[in-house]
Amino acid sequence: MGEEAALAKEKLDAGAAFVLVSKGTWLHAAYHLTTAIVGPAILSLPYAFASLGWELGVLALTMGALVTFYGYNLVSTLLEQADQRGQRHLRLGDLAVDILGPKWSKYVVFPQMVISFGIVVGSNLLCGQGMLKIYENLVKDGDLKLYHFVMISASIMIILSQLPSFHSLRYISLASALLSMGYSLGVVAACIYAGHSKRAPPKDYSIVGSTSARVFHAFNGLSIMASTYGVSIIPEIQATIASPVSGKMFKGLLLCYAVVVTTFFSVSISGYWAFGNKATGNLFDNFIPDDNTTLAPDWLLFLIILFIVIQLLAIAVVYSQPLFDVFETALSDVKRPIFSFRNLLPRLAVRSLYIVLAAFLAAMLPFFGDLNAFIGAVGFLPLAFILPPVLYNIKCKPSPGTVVFWVNTAIIVVYGAMAVMGSVSSVRQIVLDAHKFKVFSNNTS
């Protein structure tokens, strides 16, 4: 058995052997999935509801859950089929090459890497902003600026990034999942408290604006919801599961979506109920009106921010794994031990430089959220919603007379249109906010 394991390892490149280690269980996959989906982006869901109203908002949120669960299960099925043929794919790029060919697969891999890096930059920025909010509440007129806290968050991420494999993050992902449930519960409690407060704004659930503006905002809201459900690393997560993988990812998805549905719906509904069409793009801002008084207990808001800051560290290292896989493949020697000096030194240097670059961009571009919305529209929507049914239809060739074929085709058409509209709306938002853009500013909004 030892010789067989050694021979099997020799067939793997360093990225597969050291980063995408297949030792996990379906529970570990569920932890990673939950970390990849449930993040601070859910605080934008009440704002999406404000663009859609109650009925369409609940319908869109439900459809997002159903379509993404279905799509991610399609990807998992394709990976399992390949595994049964003796050709296990550990990366999204491997699956794309198998089905689309080398020429077209690069249009899948490049967006995945851009999204992954964008999430690391955004997580660094949000983590720094959260730390700054805590600091400003504790220290009045302090001297520290946003970039100081981005540097602090980056320092912690550098340490976490040295964990060699995706599998080694399993308990960090578990903690992340628990934190996401914790701050979601805190947000719901804060919304209920604020909604009953005498200082709360009047509840107005009407959709304001001209007909064209309402249509535009509706598509923007739909794009926000779709992007919030998006995950671009399903194959890499499934790669952490020990063989045989059949049926394990489905159980992981079921557990993950139990958390997703609970958190997404509770935050969306409670936030929209409390603030109506005045819900902002970051629900947390609604708890602190312009007069700097809070509509929820300070200690509760402090805990919410603290949980979010800690979870962002986990999100960053989870989404770093595809790029760490690339680095390891290019720089490490698979024939040498994973912790040999030959492999340890380049890992320490390159991963640290990668986090430093992400932190520099986060500090330099505090308006990165607007840019990230565009990245999500042109990357997340195609990879998370459109690509799974496309890959399935090409590989499995369902008959045009079957329900599967038409369901997949409908998803491709509807979410393809949504990706186009989302791209237009995000570019529009960048143009509208351009006058506020200032590099290395201390802006936390």
Q: Name the phi and psi angles at 20, rounded to 5.
A: -95, 55
Helix H or strand E segment including 45: helix 45-84
Residue of 112, 378, 120 whose CA lies nearest to 236: 112
The confidence score (pLDDT) of residue 5 equals 44
Instruction: Give the residue with greater pLDDT, 240 vs 118.
Output: 240
CA 263-224-111 angle, 5° bins: 105
Q: How confident is the model at residue 379 (pLDDT cuts 50, 70, 90)?
A: confident
- Contacts with 105 (C-beta within 8 Å, 6 or more apart), sequence order: 93, 96, 97
User: Residue 19 has what pLDDT?
Assistant: 95
When pLDDT is averaged across residues 284-303 and rounded to a whole number, the result is: 86
User: Structure pTM?
Assistant: 0.92
CB 10, CB 333: distance < 8 Å: no
- Across all residues in the chain, what is the average pLDDT? 89
Query: Which of 400-415 are b and which e, b meaning 16 or more Cβ less than 10 Å from the residue's Cβ?
Result: eeeeebeebeebbebb
Share of the chain above pLDDT 90, in %: 66
**DSSP conformation class of 379:** I
Q: 85-127, pLDDT tens digit by residue?
A: 988 999 999 999 999 999 999 999 999 998 899 899 989 999 9
Distance CA 57, CA 73 (A): 24
The arithmetic mean of pLDDT across residues 399-409, rounded, is 94
Q: Please compute the mean of the pLDDT values over residues 170-178 and round it to a whole number.
A: 97
Write the DSSP symbol of residue 86.
T
Look at residue 218 in the predicted model and tell me its pLDDT: 81
The residue-averaged pLDDT of 307-323 equals 96
- Angle formed by the axes of helices 248-275 and 45-84, to 10°? 170
- Residues whose CB is less than 8 angstroms from the CB of residue 308 and which lie 6 or more positions away in sequence, other chains included: 40, 126, 130, 179, 183
Is the pLDDT score of 406 beyond 50? yes
Tokens of residue 211, six digits: 């007909």
* pLDDT tens digits along 325-363: 999 999 999 999 999 999 999 999 999 999 999 999 888
- Please determine, for residue 220, whether its predicted confidence score (pLDDT) is greater than 60: yes
Distance CA 1, CA 16 (A): 20
Is residue 319 over pLDDT 60? Answer: yes
Residues 194 and 275: their CA atoms lie apart, in Å, by: 9
Longest dimension (CA), the chain: 72
Q: What is the pLDDT of residues 46-89, one digit of tens each?
A: 998 998 999 999 999 999 999 999 999 999 999 999 999 988 99
Q: What is the three-class DSSP state of 241?
A: strand
Backbone angles phi, psi at 235, to 5 degrees: -60, -40
- Angstrom distance (rounded) from CA 245 to CA 215: 44
Domains, the chain, in order of start with CATH, read: 22-436 (1.20.1740.10)
